[in-house]
Amino acid sequence: MIAATQATEARDTAIGANHQPETPARPPMLIRLEGLTKAYTEAGVTRTILNALDREFYTGEFVCLLGKSGSGKSTLLNLIFGIDAPTAGDVIIAEGGQPVRLTALSEHERTLFRRRNIGIVFQFFNLIPTLTVLENVTQPLELLGRNREARQRGQALLDRVGLGNRHGAYPDKLSGGEQQRVAIARALVHDPRLILADEPTGNLDEDTGDTVLALLLELTRDAGKTLFMATHAPEVARLADRVLHLDHGHLVSDQAWQETHSG
């Protein structure tokens, strides 16, 4: 019996070796877009920004989302973050190996889910002006009730982003690049598995942008996290595992987009 099984396995392996190139095991699914649609109606006219997107993203991937201004990049990130609701379809995110359907959660449950699982770097930083730099960074941990470790973790991350000595400053005293680095520290302080970054270098000069990007990649990709980044910069896309292009409500994948844009 065992010998027969071994023989079958040996034959299957041989067939596989002859006829199918070995594909490495795919990491677990982290995000699934299922018929994801977002439309706005203004003065009786409906504009479909995202048109029935179906796509899966996997743990540890660095996904770059390209697309013209107004193509819906921020809209898609906000839907994945769960602060915006789809017109139709759903976003499914795995937590503890179980798929969680965002529209099946109440608003409160969605807020808690977001706090546990996701960090976001907003397009325009969204730091809270009445909180110090350190207080901005520690807030996600405090919202999780992890006040004890908040200060130490927050300060350690501020050190990592080169702003350790600015912890007591208020955001309006910081340059754009400094605010962006605080926003990155805030997105990472609670150690989320998924980081969404909406044009994290869009408001920065080239040198500062390069520094911020390198830092973000080091703290996310190199740490095995999943990074989903909207950007206008094709040079950033070159570093990504997958490049997607939003075009007229559709997600055009890496391959097709690169072919139409090469040369």
Residues near ligand ATP, by CB under 6 A:
40, 42, 49, 67, 69-75, 123
- Stretch 94-123: interaction string toward Mg ion, x if CB under 5 A: -----------------------------x
Closest approach of Cβ 75 to ligand ATP, in Å? Answer: 3
Closest approach of Cβ 64 to ligand ATP, in Å? Answer: 13
Give the pair of three-digit tokens for residue 117. 């699982």
Q: Where are the beta strands (DSSP E) in the chain?
A: 29-42, 45-58, 62-66, 88-95, 98-101, 118-121, 194-198, 226-230, 242-247, 250-253
Give the pair of three-digit tokens for residue 258. 């690169």
Q: Which residues contact 190 (CB under 8 A, 6 or more apart)?
A: 115, 116, 119, 140, 141, 144, 146
Nearer to ligand ATP, 74 or 136 (CB): 74
- Could you report how far apart the first and last alpha carbons of the chain are, in Å? 59
Q: Which residues contact 100 (CB under 8 A, 6 or more apart)?
A: 92, 93, 94, 113
Q: Which does 87 bind (CB under 5 to 8 A by kind): ligand ATP, Mg ion, none?
A: none
Closest approach of Cβ 33 to Mg ion, in Å? Answer: 17
201 binds Mg ion (CB under 5 A): no
Closest approach of Cβ 37 to ligand ATP, in Å? Answer: 13
Closest approach of Cβ 16 to ligand ATP, in Å? Answer: 43
Q: What is the dihedral of CA 153, 217, 168, 172, to 10 degrees?
A: -150
Nearer to ligand ATP, 28 or 70 (CB): 70
Is 153:229 a contact under the CB 8 Å cutoff? no
Of residues 139, 124, 119, the one with CA closest to residue 195: 119
Nearer to ligand ATP, 164 or 249 (CB): 249
Of these, 71, 74, 78, 211, which contacts Mg ion (CB under 5 A)?
74
Nearer to Mg ion, 174 or 197 (CB): 197
Q: Which does 180 bind (CB under 5 to 8 A by kind): Mg ion, ligand ATP, none?
A: none
Closest approach of Cβ 192 to Mg ion, in Å? Answer: 21
Nearer to ligand ATP, 38 or 110 (CB): 38
CA-based Rg of the chain, rounded to a whole angstrom?
21
Closest approach of Cβ 197 to ligand ATP, in Å? Answer: 12
Q: Which does 71 bind (CB under 5 to 8 A by kind): ligand ATP, Mg ion, none?
A: ligand ATP
- Alpha-carbon distance of 108 to 165, in angstroms, equals 36
Nearer to ligand ATP, 79 or 184 (CB): 79
- Alpha-carbon distance of 260 to 100, in angstroms, equals 35
